[in-house]
Each structure stands twice: as structure tokens, then as C-alpha cells.
Structure 1
Amino acid sequence: MSPQDLQRHGAALHAALRGRHTLAPLREQCPGITLEEAYRIQEHMVALRVAEGERIVGKKIGVTSKPVQDFLGVYQPDFGQLTSGMVRSEAEGVDLNALIQPKAEAELAFVLERDLVGPDLTATDVIRATAYVSPCFEIVDSRIRDWTIKIEDTVADNASCGVFLLGEAKADPRDLDLALAGMVLEKNGELFSTSVGAAVQGSPVNAVVWLANTLGALGLPFRAGEVILSGSQSALVPVRDGDTLVCTVGGLGRCTARFHGRSAVAS
């Protein structure tokens, strides 16, 4: 694929994001698209957000748990860039009017107090570099029609990033067994799912190690202050106006996400 084609597809995905509409899967538009080309398209899409005034605030790991892999039919992790325009708070909730076809994921966020430069990092390196972990929700949102995605589609679409919010609860990761810490997810006051950290690559910290080493090999370090989303521990949760989600992590605390408004494709 030519550089001009990569830029064109990145621009089309960015326009879909801003215009709240969907596109045909990239693998249909570009038969034979490679994973490397998909990441190059992602770079162009994110660069357009930065050019509008947003800044990179972290990274996300996607498609790490079996429920999400089974839903999407994607069986390898991917990564995307988090920007300042994606940040939401528990107090403000999530405005669905800015999204297309959102689904929520409950997970653990790592907030770094110092740089991490891979490759060859270990779990110990990640834990030492982490200021704290918090329960969080990522609201994923695909610019690909009807979520009919494979790995190349979601990678090009910045790993289906939508928005995210961190819970106010914080803990030193050295004080928790991240693999065994249980997570309870409730939707509108009713139990939706339960899981443990081991559902994500054996432990959320393993997912962060994978990403730090993968990006480090590409010359992309983690920076102090960045937020790293370690991957969903729950199945994807469709959300709509009036919904409230609460995820509680044993030994850590909870994160609450309240939703209002109407997405472009209402669930």
C-alpha cells in the first residue's frame, strides 16, 4: 500500500470518528492489508487528533481476554494510543452523543511514575515503574460497520478506542495479587459478570509487559505519567442512555460509569 493510501485510510477513519458514521471493513476495502499497514493507518488517524490539539496520554492493550476474543473473532492482542480527548471522569460520566456503537469493558489501569523503555522488560520492571493501579472502564467504539472486524480492522481503527475513565480508588500494585484479585461487574444494580486478573494474559501486569516490550522494540517508550489500560477482564457490555456500570476489584475499590445521551447506532 502506498504512503498516500495509508494517509487516505487514516483520514477516512478520522472523518468517521468526527462524523459519527461507520466504514466498510478495511480488509474489504484493501484486500491483502497487512498488520504493519494497519498500524501505519492508525498512526495517521491518531496524528490527525494530535494536530487538532489533543495529546498522547497513554496506551491501551486490546483483545486480551477470551470473552472479547470470542465476541470479535480476533485472537491476538493489539494496541492503540490514548489521547487527552478520550479522558472522562466518574463525576461527568459518559456522553453517548459523541460515540457511534459503544461497548464498555471493565479493566485495570496502570499509571506510571517513571519511564519504561523496552524491550527486555519484566513484570518486576513494570510494577516498580507504576505509581498506582485503578479500576477503570474503557468504552470501546468501532468506526467499522456493525463491529465486523478482524485484527487488521481494529488495529487501523486505533484498537477501537472510544473514551475511558479511571476510578478514584488507587493502590500500589505491590500490595495486590494482580492475578488473583477478583473483579465484579454490575449493570444497573444487577450482577453482569465476575472474573479475576488471570483472565488477562495470566495477569494484567503480563499484558503491560507485552505491550511495553512490543512498543519498545519499535522505539516507542512508555513515559512517566502515562495511563496504560491493561485489557478487559469482562465481556463487552452494550450501553445506552440511563445505564450505570460499577466494577469492583477486590482489595482495591470500585469505578462507576454513568451513561447519558444517544449513540449514533443505539444499542
Structure 2
Amino acid sequence: MSAGWDVERAAATLLDAERDRTARGPLSEEWPELDLATAYRVQDTALDRRVAGGDRVVGVKLGLTSRAKQRRMNVASPLTAWLTDAMALPAGAPVPGGRFIHPRVEPEIAFVLGEPLAGPGVTAARALAAVARVHAGLEVIDSRYADFAFTLPDVVADNASSGAYVTGPVGLPPEALDLSLEACLLEVDGQVVDSATGAAVQGHPAEALAFAANVLGERGLAIEAGWVVLTGGMTDAVPLRPGGQVAAHFTHLGSIQLVGG
């Protein structure tokens, strides 16, 4: 093991960087043996520490769900990470300015599960049948690595650059929507900077949900009823600056915004 690195030390190092709002170099530069399986163990160990500190698990988030982002990272599938109640932001409240290192925001389609979902063998249709409501979402991502520079194992260990999230007030049953065509306009300070549809997320957000259920199932885990699932960024993330505003306007899921504190 390089320079004394192990799962426990890696989890503690990343949580310390998050708490202290201090960016660092990728773990893989000091720990070349860090592979994807070990990175998920780091992620789960960090989650155990969050829960021991009072956090409650409330959901799952996916990353690298767009084909463009997968090509950029030279990977063929998304990654999964955890959401806790401490990451949920109150709707309309400014994002605390002193909470993050270099926050960025991306629009997402969010699912709230009406029943548990466990792999293996979950299809997109089966996954969608487990969804109670669909919401607009904005996720604040905040890597613990300087300049968001990392390898795939690095970002998995870092809980997929988790920061915070907010979901919109409009919640619709999935059968009321064509999620592959649900469109989103992303605004920064009132100017449209990007747009996408749900098809940007694995072709359909339900495919991302099915993927999450199946890969978690391989680890003996399930997505629980009531949990939120953030299905992945529909567009590239944009910086959230102090006093700045990022808003997403969806076809049927309404509008949602975050203001930098």
C-alpha cells in the first residue's frame, strides 16, 4: 500500500477536506493502487462516518450519466453515490457561501421512490413503476480535488463530488410525462446558457435509475421507498458565484433556482 494509504485514511482525508473547505490533489497521485472497487469502499466508509455523525441517508445520486461526460472521462457507464439529509437545501434559501470549495450547479430530473427497488435484473420499465413522483432538481457539486481534476476512482471515492441539492415544488407521477422529451433551459443570472432534454441522461432517466438499482444490488444494497434519486446532470455544470443565480426551467416540472450566498 502506497505511503500508508488505506480505505479508512482515504475516507477521513476526503471528509476533512470537505469540512475544512480545502482542495487537494487526487488521491490516485499518492495511492496508485486505488481502483474502482476500492473507491466504492472509501465512499461507503465515508457514508458510515457521516451517519455516525448524525446524518441520515435519504437517497442516491448518479454521475456521468450523459454520453458526452462518459466520453470525456473515457468510461462506458455512470457512477453512483449517496445523498444524506445534510445535503438537502430548503427551497428558496440562499446557498451558504462558506459551505463549499468551488461549487457548480447542474439541472437534474429527480425521482422520489414509492416502493423499494433492488437489483439485479431491474429494467427501466420496472424502475419507473417504483417511482411515486418526478421533480425538477438542481444539484450543487463540489469536488474536494483542486480544479475538479480527478480520475474515475478519485471521484467515486469523493462521493461523486457531492455537495447539496434542492428539488422543485412540482411533483408529477411518471406516467404523466415523457421524460425523454422533458426539456430544461439553464439560466445563469437571467441568461440562458444551455439546454437539454431527459434523453441526455442515459437516453431516459429511468435507465439511470435502473442502473443504480442494479449496481447497488451487486453490493447487497437497495434503493428504499421515500428516497430521492438524482439521475444525473442534463447539462454541464455551471459555477455558482456569491450573489449569482442559477435557474432551471422545465417543460412540465416547473422552475427552480439557487442563489449563491
TM-score (norm 1): 0.92
- The root-mean-square deviation of aligned C-alpha atoms, in Å, is 1.7
**Partner of 1:51 in structure 2?**
52
One-letter amino acid of the counterpart of residue 5, structure 1 = D
Unmatched tracts of structure 2, length 5 or more: none
Instruction: Give 1:229-248 correspondences, 5 Å limit.
Output: 229-248=230-249
Shift of 1:69: 4.3
Shift of 1:4: 7.3
**Partner of 2:73 in structure 1?**
73
**Partner of 1:104 in structure 2?**
105
Q: Residues 103 and 68 (structure 1 numbering): CA distance in 2 closer, same or farther, change over 3 Å?
A: farther
Which stretch shifts more, 182-191 or 247-256? 247-256
TM-score (norm 2): 0.94
SS class of match (1:39): helix
For 1:205 and 1:154, how far apart are their aligned partners in 2? 23
1:205-260 alpha-carbon deviations (Å, 9 max, x no partner): 11111111111121110101100000000111011111111112212211111111
Unmatched tracts of structure 1, length 5 or more: 261-267
For 1:82 and 1:97, how far apart are their aligned partners in 2? 20
SS class of match (2:33): coil
One-letter amino acid of the counterpart of residue 137, structure 1 = L
For 2:246 and 2:51, how far apart are their aligned partners in 1? 30
Instruction: Give 1:7-156 correspondences, 5 Å limit.
Output: 7-69=8-70, 73=73, 75=75, 76-156=77-157
**Partner of 2:208 in structure 1?**
207
Shift of 1:145: 1.8
For 2:168 and 2:174, how far apart are their aligned partners in 1? 15
Q: Quick check: 1:74–1:151 contact (8 Å CA) kept in 2?
A: no
> Following TM superposition, where does structure 1 have runs of at least 4 consecutive aligned residues deviating by more than 2 angstroms?
1-4, 66-70, 72-76
1:62-103 alpha-carbon deviations (Å, 9 max, x no partner): 011245446x63534111110111000222131131001111
Q: Quick check: 1:68–1:232 contact (8 Å CA) kept in 2?
A: no
SS class of match (2:260): strand
For 1:115 and 1:84, how far apart are their aligned partners in 2? 19
SS class of match (1:95): coil
Q: Residues 68 and 95 (structure 1 numbering): CA distance in 2 closer, same or farther, change over 3 Å?
A: farther
SS class of match (1:57): strand
For 2:62 and 2:74, how far apart are their aligned partners in 1? 13
Shift of 1:127: 1.6
1:93-115 alpha-carbon deviations (Å, 9 max, x no partner): 31131001111110110001111
**Partner of 1:184 in structure 2?**
185
Which stretch shifts more, 3-12 or 149-158? 3-12
For 1:139 and 1:197, how far apart are their aligned partners in 2? 19
One-letter amino acid of the counterpart of residue 241, structure 2 = R
Shift of 1:32: 2.7
**Partner of 1:218 in structure 2?**
219
For 1:227 and 1:146, how far apart are their aligned partners in 2? 28
- What is the aligned length? 259
SS class of match (1:109): strand
SS class of match (1:193): strand
For 1:91 and 1:111, how far apart are their aligned partners in 2? 20
SS class of match (2:91): coil
SS class of match (1:201): coil
